[in-house]
Amino acid sequence: MHFKEIEKIVHELMPKECEVTKVEPEGLSTVVYIKNIKAFYEREELIRRLAGSLKKKVNLRVDSSALMEPEKAKQIIEQLVPKEAEIKNIMFNPEFSEVHVEAMKPGLVIGKGGSVLKEIMIQTGWATITARAPTMPSVTLDGVRRSMIAEAVDRKKFLVNIGKKICQPSPASDWIRLVALGAFREVGRSCVLLQTPNSKVLLDVGLNAATGDPSKAYPYLGMMGFGLEEIDAVVISHGHIDHMGFLPYLFAYGYEGPVYCTPPTRDIMVLLQQDYINLSKRTFGVDPPYSKKDIQKELRHVITVDYEEVVDITPEIKMTMYNAGHILGSASVHLHIGEGAHNLVYGGDIKYGFTKLFEPAHTVFPRVETLMIESTYGGRNDISVNRIDSERRLIQIIQETIAKRGKVLIPVFAVGRSQEMLLTLEEIYRRNPDFNVPVYIDGMVLEASAIHTAYPEYMREQLQRRILSNNSPFESPMVKVAKGTDKETIVNGEPAVILAPSGMLNGGPSYEYLKLMADNPNNTLIFVGYQSALSLGSKVQRGMKEIPIMGDDGKTKLLSINMRVETCEGYSGHSDHAQLMAYLRNLRPTPERILTMHGDWGKTDEFARMAGMMLKKEARALQNLEAIRLR
């Protein structure tokens, strides 16, 4: 619907006494500014009538001329909100006529049926945006939330511009195609171009953090055939570096458009991208392809979308995100192209099996003609061990190591595997009083865990309840923070378990611990996550006993791997072969075409053959730079 038509409908539906001053498209919403909020709330059916007529999300705000002065409004908010809500921060955003209230219990800020929010708006004029405060301090979360207000002027201009573009009429597209730009017959640098005559959308823009070689690390953006400034939208499925690590590069070199993702993905992106900048030079001796100012620019362009919220991302493409079960905020992306011309599901990374963190990946969609599905463990023999057996083996290895007065190093991804391991070890600690081994967390594990506590609604119900009742497993007495503690002190101290990123030993704290621990046969290295073929972790896992490292004198020397090396399967955030096949069997409706991606060479082919045979549908394993016409 064109914006002029939207304006007309709003003015027709809104009573004169509400005093409408302005109607604006703002990103994915239509915003109506009025002076008389009391008159509006006397007719509560108005917001439903507006949303129903416009078929868009409608936000109501009070005109800036009718807003109460912030200091006085703050006092009223503190009076209206119960003290049990535990307000941590109140920040006013005049550009949007909004007040952001961060609290431990945001439900009490909202009130039953939104009663408290309504009263705040009637008395002060400010529209209240609530956010859950993390139970643990988070520099990243605090920085992101403050940045949203500090950058409000530029962000407002950007959102209005995007809103107007989305409201433009679009002619019917006579073709739709996909171009594979990364992570096809490989793992790392995930990137797909969805293109029609009228739309250009990128699905993920990742990098391969296991290598510093630009020809293998970065997606093939130069092969798109047009400039970055022509991209209409970028959709990020989740916050792992191989799916969003190259995104700031776009903003460094001309992209000015929107980035769509879930709220947790936005925060995790910022955390891991900043860390990548720090590690790039140190690990591979290469300059990162972007700077922190590019990450800040990216943040101004992020538009967050909740699960199952239907939104327009171009005039002809509607998007809905669904739980993918992989990490916090991970999404499978459903794209409805044209007026029913084609429906694509970009699965991202999915977990269709049990984890302590998340429910299994969503499998029911409105329509699906084409499915893009990962094949990390798509090979016929990629069957994970039973989770109960895996936990028994994990405990056994840890206890055997502790009995020898050794240390256990578990390389983990800061987001996902580290929290899964913390939950596993915390449960062992609660059930077995004799298991009183300290668990040190290092690097970004603490920061990532803090972000998890701000979004309990994205996790399993049992875990939600624990976080909401101030019993977060991430703050168990067994957990010790290694930040500020000398690594040598931990390695030379009492027996302990160490959780440290990166999960593939490519730099970061895990690599530093490896150098300190590798020579001692009493120590143990346990792999619990995927190891890319290019990674140091993969080489050690395959049995390499000597690895070249850079010494303090700048010269290369060999590090002997004398420590015990084990792999405990069952903790991956990816589906194994059986789970992938079960996902396909339970997918509704059954897709007409399956495209496999995100798997080592051979696994994508094998999985495509088996998926096609089972569903009796077309199934293909695309290669990088291959294009396919969907319609």
Query: Which residue, among 515, 538, 512, 516, has the nearest Cα to 527 in the 3D structure?
Result: 538
Query: By three-state DSSP, how is residue 527 classified?
Result: strand
b (16+ CB within 10 A) / e for 322-338:
bbbbbbbbbbbbbbbbb
Pick among 1.10.238.10, 3.40.50.1220, 3.40.50.10890, 3.40.50.300: CATH of 387-567: 3.40.50.10890
- For residue 205, give the H/E element and its range: strand 200-205
C-alpha radius of gyration, the chain, whole number:
25
> Residue 76 is encoded by which pair of tokens?
């009223």
How distant, in Å, are the alpha carbons of 328, 449, 574 from that of 420? 11, 10, 13
Amino acid identity of residue 201, one-letter, is V
Query: Where along the chain do its domains lie?
Result: 1-166, 169-381+574-629, 387-567
CATH superfamily of 1-166: K homology (KH) domain (3.30.300.20)
pLDDT of residue 554: 67
The residue ranges of the chain whose pLDDT is under 50 are none
Specify the fold of 169-381+574-629: Metallo-beta-lactamase; Chain A (3.60.15)
Amino acid identity of residue 167, one-letter, is C
Query: Which residue, among 553, 535, 507, has the nearest Cα to 277 in the 3D structure?
Result: 507
Query: Which residue, among 342, 333, 318, 338, has the nearest Cα to 365 in the 3D structure?
Result: 333
pLDDT of residue 588: 97
Residues 6 or more apart whose CB falls under 8 angstroms from that of 477 comprise none
pLDDT of residue 284: 66
Please state the pTM of the whole predicted model. Answer: 0.94
